[in-house]
């Protein structure tokens, strides 16, 4: 019998006109040498040991001034302060209320500070261990920063709206850094829930702090991940932020924040303009300003570093706000350099690494609350070792080089460097991490006080981890899962 002829191989199938979506990226930790791994449990233990003296020497904890006002409002002691986030007043007021019922308010303050400290240690240890997987040097630098810079443990043990906001931001960053390396992170519902919870906590802990991260999450799911289920989840998170920011306060009849609390920049820059260029004001323009505040009175109370004294004497309501803002915008177009100089005079401490505020300290050590709240709530911090922590913090502030680590300006420039490197190294996914940090920084520039450290706290504790993670992944030549896009095949065979 004749042997059958070999059949010719079939020609290769023509490629599909649309390329397939890439598969989920593998776990990038699988091929890392075991010697580069850092145990998060060991990191947590080391941080706890380093922070233990701060905890013991400040027991039962630290309380910031705004927190005392919020506790007083919750307990109907003293005047109301509608500018505090309503959830903060309820949260800290409830702790002190139950402490009062139990006969020891300080015990509940201690419990709150302990829970907050443990939460921050756990989140930090996870982040540092993850960065250490790719660069032990970066991991150890982060560990040294969070262990030995005194403002970090002091604020971790402070009952205040900026301290718990910092924990929420760190939780957000921990989830985002892990999700960027592997799209499979979103397959587990608990991961989605944890990330969404961090955004909602930011919304509750600081007025309007959750908007930008929520929008960034929506854009990330649409352009980077492209999973319909996750896009819907991000839109639900955005809706929840709107509910907590607008709907729930209206439902609970929460007093609205005064409009002049959001107009620091127009007030400060207009006052600077009147001080430096009074001849460029017409009689009509003077009349508009006089409806808000007497010009001579405005000049007496103008302080470029803090707006409160002038703000209290300004009348900005539905009748006067519109004309005042239109006048301010007109002057911005007519004299932009002068208005920018006025803006700089009110924000330079946030930008210059060697400067610090003369109006407010770097941190609150002990109880900074009114005597009325102390007496009626029986809240006193009589720990004699509080003085030691204060002196230790002063030595850090006055140190020639180490003092830069307890100032805001250094971290503002590190944030600018982070944004630049994101575009230089083409890592757009890191914009998800930069979103809350940029929100905090812009909020500082619009704040009523120049160089208030606690305003920038979340940015200060968040920038180092994101920058270290970016540099460690770049130097390790790690490749992230690409942004999924549909590519048209233009080859002749695919037409």
> For residue 352, is it left (φ>0), alpha (ψ between -120 and 50) or beta?
beta
With residue 98 as reference, give the H or E element that holds it.
helix 86-102
Distance CA 155, CA 164 (A): 9
Q: What are the two backbone dihedrals, phi and then psi, of residue 220, each rounded to the nearest 5 degrees?
A: -65, -45
- pLDDT at residue 3 in the model: 46
Buried-exposed string 34-51: b where 16+ CB fall within 10 A, e elsewhere: eeeebebeebbebbbebb
Distance CA 78, CA 105 (A): 18
Cβ atoms of 148 and 178 within 8 Å: the answer is no
DSSP for 253-315 reads: TPPPPPGGGG-HHHHHHHHHHHHH-GGG--HHHHHHHHHHS-HHHHHHH--TTB-HHHHTT--
Instruction: Count other Cβ atoms within 10 Å, centred on residue 410.
Output: 17
**How many CA atoms are closer than 13 Å to the CA of 87, on its beta-carbon side?**
18
- pLDDT at residue 488 in the model: 56
Q: What distances in angstroms separate CA 410 from CA 106, 107, 401, one per listed residue?
A: 36, 37, 11
Sign of the torsion angle spanned by Cα atoms 277, 280, 284, 285 = negative
Instruction: Count other Cβ atoms within 10 Å, centred on residue 453.
Output: 23
Show Cβ contacts of residue 340 under 8 Å, excluding neighbours closer than 6 positions. none
Q: Global pTM?
A: 0.87
179: closest CA among 469, 438, 415?
Answer: 469
Distance CA 180, CA 175 (A): 9
Distance CA 364, CA 457 (A): 13
Q: What distances in angstroms separate CA 169 from CA 44, 120, 225, 287, 332, one per listed residue?
A: 18, 10, 22, 45, 34
Alpha-carbon radius of gyration of the chain: 27
pLDDT tens, per residue, the chain with 495 residues:
444 444 455 555 544 444 443 444 444 444 444 444 578 999 999 999 999 999 999 999 999 988 988 898 888 887 666 678 889 989 999 999 999 998 899 999 999 999 999 999 999 999 999 998 888 889 999 999 999 999 999 999 999 999 999 999 999 999 999 988 777 888 888 999 999 999 999 999 998 899 999 999 999 999 988 889 999 999 999 999 999 998 888 888 887 778 888 899 999 999 999 999 999 999 999 999 999 999 999 999 999 999 998 998 998 888 899 999 999 999 999 999 999 999 999 999 999 999 998 878 889 999 999 888 888 888 999 999 999 999 999 999 999 999 999 999 999 999 999 999 999 999 999 999 999 999 999 999 999 999 999 999 999 999 999 999 999 888 876 555 555 555 555 555 554
Cβ atoms of 307 and 446 within 8 Å: the answer is no
Instruction: Count other Cβ atoms within 10 Å, centred on residue 192.
Output: 19
Cβ atoms of 442 and 133 within 8 Å: the answer is no
Instruction: Count other Cβ atoms within 10 Å, centred on residue 195.
Output: 24
Cβ atoms of 433 and 466 within 8 Å: the answer is yes
- pLDDT at residue 482 in the model: 52
- pLDDT at residue 249 in the model: 87
- pLDDT at residue 5 in the model: 46
- pLDDT at residue 27 in the model: 43
With residue 159 as reference, give the H or E element that holds it.
strand 158-159
How far is C-alpha 294 from the chain's CA centre? 37
In the DSSP assignment, the letter for residue 354 is T
- pLDDT at residue 386 in the model: 95
Task: Using DSSP bridges, classify how beta strands 62-63 and 158-159 pair: parallel, antiparallel or unpaired.
Answer: parallel
Query: 3-class secondary structure for 61-79?
Result: CEECHHHHHHHHHHCCCCC
In the DSSP assignment, the letter for residue 221 is I
385: closest CA among 62, 46, 22?
Answer: 62
């Amino acid at each position: 019998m004749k042997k059958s002829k070999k059949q010719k191989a079939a020609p290769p199938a023509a490629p599909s006109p649309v390329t397939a979506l890439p598969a989920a990226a593998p776990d990038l930790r699988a091929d890392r040498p075991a010697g580069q791994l850092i145990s998060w449990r060991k990191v947590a233990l080391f941080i706890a040991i380093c922070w233990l003296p701060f905890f013991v020497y400040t027991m039962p904890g630290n309380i910031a001034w705004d927190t005392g006002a919020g506790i007083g409002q919750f307990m109907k002691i003293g005047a109301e302060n509608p500018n505090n986030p309503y959830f903060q007043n309820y949260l800290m007021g409830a702790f002190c209320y139950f402490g009062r019922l139990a006969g020891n308010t300080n015990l509940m303050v201690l419990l709150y500070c302990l829970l907050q400290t443990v939460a921050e240690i756990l989140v930090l240890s996870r982040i540092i261990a993850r960065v250490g997987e790719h660069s032990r040097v970066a991991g150890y630098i982060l560990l040294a920063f969070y262990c030995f810079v005194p403002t970090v443990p002091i604020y971790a043990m402070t009952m205040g709206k900026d301290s718990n906001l910092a924990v929420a931001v760190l939780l957000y960053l921990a989830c985002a850094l892990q999700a960027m390396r592997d799209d499979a992170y979103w397959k587990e519902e608990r991961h989605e829930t944890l990330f969404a919870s961090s955004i909602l906590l930011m919304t509750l802990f600081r007025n309007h702090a959750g908007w930008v991260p929520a929008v960034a999450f929506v854009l990330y799911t649409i352009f980077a991940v492209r999973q319909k289920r996750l896009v819907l989840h991000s839109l639900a998170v955005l809706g929840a932020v709107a509910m907590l920011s607008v709907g729930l306060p209206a439902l609970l009849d929460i007093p609205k924040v005064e409009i002049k609390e959001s107009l620091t920049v127009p007030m400060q820059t207009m006052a600077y303009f009147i001080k430096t260029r009074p001849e460029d004001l017409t009689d009509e323009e003077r009349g508009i300003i006089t409806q808000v505040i007497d010009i001579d009175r405005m000049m007496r109370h103008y302080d470029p570093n803090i707006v409160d004294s002038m703000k209290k004497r300004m009348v900005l309501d539905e009748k006067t706000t519109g004309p005042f803002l239109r006048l301010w915008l007109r002057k911005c177009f007519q004299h932009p350099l002068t208005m920018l100089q006025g803006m700089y005079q009110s924000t330079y401490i946030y930008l210059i690494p060697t400067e610090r505020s003369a109006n407010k300290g770097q941190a609150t050590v002990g109880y900074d609350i009114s005597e009325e709240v102390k007496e009626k709530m029986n809240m006193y911090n009589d720990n004699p070792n509080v003085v030691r922590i204060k002196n230790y913090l002063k030595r850090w502030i006055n140190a020639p080089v180490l003092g830069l680590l307890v100032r805001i300006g250094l971290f503002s420039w590190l944030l600018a460097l982070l944004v630049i490197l994101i575009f230089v190294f083409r890592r757009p996914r890191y914009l998800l991490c930069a979103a809350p940090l940029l929100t905090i920084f812009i909020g500082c520039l619009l704040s009523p006080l120049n160089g208030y450290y606690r305003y920038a706290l979340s940015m200060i504790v968040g920038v180092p981890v994101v920058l270290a993670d970016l540099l460690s992944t770049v130097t390790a030549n790690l490749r992230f899962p690409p942004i999924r896009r549909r590519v048209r095949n233009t080859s002749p065979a695919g037409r």
